[in-house]
């Protein structure tokens, strides 16, 4: 019985990315930071590396957004970024928040370079 449950858990974890534990937040206006924090805390409960990334850019007025970036599945070097649009594969190095922010924005069809990017601790 236990091997079957383990197999099903592994199969489902390979198929989909994690979901936000506080899904109601995704529909709120300007709730990107609390949504990213809730998602990060949910991932950390399962020992998944994750950080909240805050970035700004000019379009032409200053804009800002927050993402949760995480490595999934655990043990792999696959970076993902999550916000109310969903999870997107983000090809960047985790130690360079500006690069992560630029790639996360591009995956959401925002092609303006970040003016700042940092991880919230």
**What ranges do the domains of the chain cover?**
17-120
Does the model's pTM come out above 0.85?
no
| 30: alpha, beta or left? (left if phi > 0; alpha if psi -120 to 50) | left
33 close to 23: Cβ distance less than 8 angstroms: no
- What is the tens place of the pLDDT at every residue in 6-40? 444 444 444 466 665 566 666 667 889 999 999 99
- Tell me the pLDDT tens digit for each residue of 71-105: 998 888 899 999 988 999 999 999 999 999 999 99
């Amino acid at each position: 019985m236990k091997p079957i449950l383990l197999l099903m858990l592994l199969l489902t974890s390979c198929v989909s990315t994690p979901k936000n534990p506080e899904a109601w937040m995704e529909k709120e206006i300007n709730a990107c930071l609390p949504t990213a924090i809730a998602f990060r805390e949910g991932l950390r409960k399962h020992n998944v590396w994750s950080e909240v990334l805050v970035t700004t850019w000019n379009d032409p007025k200053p804009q800002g957004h927050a993402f949760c970036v995480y490595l999934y599945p655990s043990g792999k070097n696959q970076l993902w970024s999550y916000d109310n649009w969903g999870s997107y594969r983000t090809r960047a190095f985790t130690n360079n928040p500006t690069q992560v922010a630029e790639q996360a924005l591009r995956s959401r069809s925002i092609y303006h370079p970040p003016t700042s990017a940092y991880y919230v601790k």
